Amino acid sequence: MILQEENPMAADLKNPLSLDSRVALVTGAAGGIGRAAALLLAKFGASIVLTDRAEMSDLLENTRQAILAIGQKVMSIKADLALSGDIDELVGSAVEEFKNIDILVNVAAIHLFPSPLLKISAAEWDRVQDVNLKSCLLLCQRIAPLMISRNSGCIVNIASDSAFDVIAEEGAYGISKMGVTKLSSYLAKELAGAQVRVNSIAPGWVRTEMTRQFWSDPEILRQAEKGIPLRRMAEPEEIANVVLFLASSLASYVNGHCIIVDGGRIAGVPC
């Protein structure tokens, strides 16, 4: 008789979306994709660590209260992710409270528009790269050792379909997001031996505060939607759905990839 080797993911696949007993740290959690991701992960059982800038305190507290209403454990920490000291304090506080971090979702980003590369100041360039790209690296450096010690973990970095396109006056942002996709691929290979999966998501147009200047203008919105085969912007919850997938056992063999979630925009302008 030939005995089949037991599938190590078999138990999880009985309830593949369950995140019970896991702890997720979500950056940029005051609104938009970060808030939607935090709420969805909580609904599927995760305890949540929320973080955003101090000026977003009221919105961050709103997210915290919404997760408490779901019935999950949650803590919120104000941090400027452009500062390595704030990142150290964030991770230290999270580990002190929850002892571990199983899921890291890097959402926090800033978008300077317009920002032509030949005119952007060094300070503006540094700020975009520090928040959008460097903070992802620093958080992974601080949190990955916890995952390695447990031989499991999941990191999801939010990039942008701007990483695969050239949009006028969006150079600093697009370059930072291409960096996020490449960072994710390198980390996926470095951490694979410890069964830590790293992937990125590249959203297209999403209806958030960051993009309000575009979707609040009917003409700009109309022009934007003309270039999207699905003819509409995404809602933050639609990106959060992909975060949940990547964090769950359904994506147990997905590693080192960037999932583009843009309604088909990069695929080409609709006929």
Active-site residue numbers? 173
> What is the secondary structure of the chain as a DSSP string?
-PPPPPPTTHHHHTSTT--TT-EEEEESTTSHHHHHHHHHHHHTT-EEEEEE-GGGHHHHHHHHHHHHHHT--EEEEE--TTSHHHHHHHHHHHHHHHS---EEEE------SS--TTT--HHHHHHHHIIIIIHHHHHHHHHHHHHHHHT-EEEEEE--GGGGS--TT-HHHHHHHHHHHHHHHHHHHHHGGGTEEEEEEEE-SB-SSTTHHHHTSHHHHHHHHHT-TTSSPBPHHHHHHHHHHHHSGGGTT--S-EEEESTTTTT----
Under 8 Å CB-to-CB from 42, ≥6 apart: which residues? Answer: 48, 67, 70, 72, 74
Tokens describing residue 37:
């991701």
Q: Which of 7, 15, 90, 94 is nearest to 53 (CA)?
A: 90
Burial environment of residue 209 by CB neighbours within 10 A (0 to 12, 13 to 18, 19 or more): exposed
